Amino acid sequence: MAEAAHLAVWLVGLFGIVGTVCVCVAKVVIHDSVAYDEAFVWRRKLPPEAKSKR
- Domain ranges, ordered by start, for the chain: 21-54
Contacts with 46 (C-beta within 8 Å, 6 or more apart), sequence order = 35, 38, 39
Q: Whose CA is closest to 39, among 52, 51, 21?
A: 51
Predicted TM-score of the model (pTM): 0.60
pLDDT in tens, 7-53: 999 999 999 999 999 999 999 888 887 777 777 777 777 677 766 65
* Contact assessment for residue 50 and residue 35, using Cβ atoms and an 8 Å cutoff: yes
